[in-house]
Amino acid sequence: MTSSRTIRLAFSPDSDDIFMFWPLLTGKIDTEGLTFVSERADTETLNARAERADVDVLAMSIARYSTVSESYLLLPHGASVGRGYGPVVVAPKAMPEAALAGKRIGIPGLRTTAYLVLRLLAQPFEPVVLPISPYARVFEALRGGEVDAALLIHEGRLTYEREGFEKILDIGEGWAKLTGGLPLPLGGNAIRRGLGKELVAQVSRLCQQSIAWALGHRDEVIDALLAAETRTEVSLDRPMLDRYLSMYANEDTRGMPDDAKRAVVELFDRAKAAGLMAANAIVEFAP
């Protein structure tokens, strides 16, 4: 099928998102007559944008998908999945996990999967939303005593040690213990139902081809991402980028395996049981 149509993408500034879409946006694969345009915004902004349903392919938190499934299908590829690891709660000084109860904890957004899972794992705490852009904001809040601890996503979970903070809890580890070893599905790409069945299938296929190309030409894509990186405060170098992509742009990204799909359903079920998600929330994957 060949179409003459513009497809709008929106995804975050973090490296795994641009890694998967870079081939699609730079002419590395045949787009079959479709034109892909993109915009980037922080995770919570994207989660808020989902309500408008005006983006064709939108990166969002799995937790957020539960509220917009009438407008979007989850793509069965492009997911960020942690296997025994995930976002981390850090603090200026070491403390036991139990000490997080009642503390002010900086979170990346009220709609994020990380916040939802932390609520499932930890005793009640006071959430304080700290935007993930600019990158240094959360570390400044920790140093200034605005929060007692902070939940870090994206590259921040790799840099907290060099910033002088201590890990209190890895929610990917906690989720695995809670669920008997399931991976933690953090984010995914969703596609707008309004595109129609044929176009949904075509765009899904092209997105998967883009991911496959990136994985097959990993060094070339890493070179391009490092050359184009504008977040100077992240101090992203090749070893860090390589490590980060190994965690969140890998074979689980190429195509969600059965255990990752089961983990999405498990997350919904546990959140519903805890009263943290609407009882009628559904999970539906695109082709």
Helix (H) or strand (E) holding 174: helix 171-179
Range 21-47 average pLDDT: 95
Whether residue 68 is found in the same domain as residue 145: no
Q: In this structure, is residue 131 part of a structural domain? A: yes
φ, ψ for residue 133, nearest 5 deg:
-130, 120
In this structure, the answer to whether residues 147 and 198 fall within a common structural domain is no
Are 42 and 175 contained in the same domain? Answer: no
Q: What percent of the chain has pLDDT over 70?
A: 97
Where does the pLDDT of residue 132 fall: very low under 50, low under 70, confident under 90, or very high at 90 and above?
confident
Domain boundary, last residue among 128, 162, 179:
179
77 and 214: one domain? yes
- Distance from C-alpha of 149 to C-alpha of 135, rounded to nearest angstrom: 16
Mark whether 168 and 216 lie in a shared domain.
Answer: no
Query: Are residues 58 and 41 part of one domain?
Result: yes
What type of residue is 1? M
Residues 74, 188 within the same domain: yes
The band of 2, judged by pLDDT with boundaries at 50, 70 and 90, is: very low
Assess if residue 110 is contained within a domain: yes
Shared domain for 91 and 169, answered yes or no, is: yes
pLDDT digits (tens, 9 = 90+) for 36-59: 999 999 888 999 999 999 999 999
Mean pLDDT of the chain: 94
Task: Name the helix (H) or strand (E) containing 263.
Answer: helix 258-273
Is residue 286 situated within a structural domain?
no
Sign of CA dihedral 146, 62, 246, 37: negative
The answer to whether 90 and 103 are in contact (CB under 8 A) is no
* Residue 260 belongs to some domain of the structure: yes
pLDDT on residue 49? 94
Active-site annotation holds for 154: yes
Mean pLDDT of the 202-209 span: 98
In terms of domains, do 93 and 175 share one? yes
Backbone phi, then psi, for 109, in 5-degree steps? Answer: 160, 150
61 in any annotated domain: yes
Q: Contact, 125 vs 100, CB < 8 A?
A: yes
Of 130, 163, 179, which residue sits at a domain end? 179
Does 278 reside within a domain?
Answer: no
Do 122 and 139 reside in the same domain of the chain? Answer: yes
Last residue of a domain, one of 162, 179, 196: 179
Instruction: Please tell me whether residues 21 and 153 are part of one structural domain.
Output: no
Is 80 exceeded by the pLDDT of residue 172?
Answer: yes
Helices of type H across 77-170:
113-121, 137-143, 156-159
36 and 175 co-located in one domain:
no
Q: Report the distance separating Cα 93 and Cα 82, nearest Å.
A: 25
- Contacts of residue 269, Cβ cutoff 8 Å, sequence gap at least 6: none
For residue 197, give its domain range: 5-81+184-273
The pLDDT value given to residue 13: 86
Domain count, the chain: 2
* Top-confidence residue, 214 or 235: 214
Q: What is the pLDDT of residue 155?
A: 81
Identify the pLDDT of residue 1: 45
Q: Which of 154, 157, 192, 254 is catalytic?
A: 154
Q: How confident is the model at residue 233 (pLDDT cuts 50, 70, 90)?
A: low
Where residue 171 sits, what CATH number does that domain have?
3.40.190.10
